[in-house]
Amino acid sequence: MTPSPQRTLIILNPHAGGGKAGQVWTALEPLLWKELGELIIAVTQHPQEVTAHLDQAYLAGVRRVISIGGDGTNHALVNALIGLNERNPQGERMVYGTLPIGTGRDWARGVGMPFKDPKEAAAWIARAQPQSLDIGRVHSESGDEYFLNIASTGLSGDVVARVNHTRTRRPWTFLGATVQSILRYQPQALHVRLDGETWYDDRAYVLVVANGTTFGHGMKIAPNAQVSDGLFDVLVIKAVPKMEILAALRRVYNGSHLTHPAVRHARAAQVEVQADHSVGIELDGEERQGSTMTFDVQPAALRMLV
């Protein structure tokens, strides 16, 4: 008997990238039908709708999902997929791929996907093979949540809040928001433990817990991070004069900042953070708040097209 062709669930957020996702879908749809075969298209208006679409597709035998949207769609799908796996512990895992149309597209940068031309990205995803990748889990006062690329706290939470409240985003929006935040942000006291041992206990601008390499529209904040090594790359930027941080900001775009005296970095499977009061948390570009956080690697938790 000839096996039935694989079907693919498409999660489309037409509003991502300031409406760009909806605009490029007309050109992408026939290409994806040709490259991937039968498509089941689910248009979402809110991240909360993703779980229902996944459950329905899984019950119908679909085992591949591709998102077309921005960081919010990506974040919602990762969390929904983990929930789906937990509800079907003995079942075949859904394979996930992403076609980034949002502002940052930093996951695509980190894994080498062509992200400027959606058609090139679609051809890339059609050739990609599923691999088991790590993801991160954070436990805070708000409960448990998962992230694919990078989580951080401190200054970055302020940056993301500025970007997310910018009505029209441009390529320089992240850089402008970063400069504004550096000028106004006061470093916070953070107590950080890596794998149970105290690692940092002082004021800091930002703490980064990285599974992937890149955030903030091209900042290679963790250039040595690997998505399947069972470890986070952890980085802290110490409280030094603001002009020193601004002068070194360009180095983050090529990854040479790791040798700066204000930067400390290490690797760990668990990162515990205690702040004196609630601080901003950023999870794949999504805003959260908390004062007590524990980040844990979830090894090989996600089957993804890379």
The overall pTM is greater than 0.85: yes
Question: What is the model's pLDDT at position 106?
Answer: 85
Question: What is the model's pLDDT at position 5?
Answer: 62
Q: Is the pLDDT of residue 110 over 90?
A: no
Average pLDDT (167-190) is 88
- Token pair in block for residue 99: 């076609």
3 Cβ contact partners less than 8 Å away, ≥ 6 residues apart:
none
Average pLDDT (164-169) is 74
Q: Is the pLDDT of residue 2 over 60?
A: no
Question: What is the model's pLDDT at position 103?
Answer: 65
Average pLDDT (172-197) is 93
How far apart (Å, rounded) are the C-alpha atoms in residues 209 and 222? 9
The DSSP secondary structure of 54-119, one letter per residue, reads HHHHHHTT--EEEEEE-HHHHHHHHHHHHHHHHH-TTSPPPEEEEEE-SS--HHHHHHT---S-HH
Q: Is the pLDDT of residue 102 over 70?
A: no
pLDDT for 141-166, tens place per residue?
888 999 999 999 999 988 988 887 77
pLDDT for 216-241, tens place per residue?
888 999 999 999 999 999 999 999 99
Set out the domains of the chain in order of their start, with CATH numbers: 8-128 (3.40.50.10330), 136-300 (2.60.200.40)
Question: What is the model's pLDDT at position 27?
Answer: 83
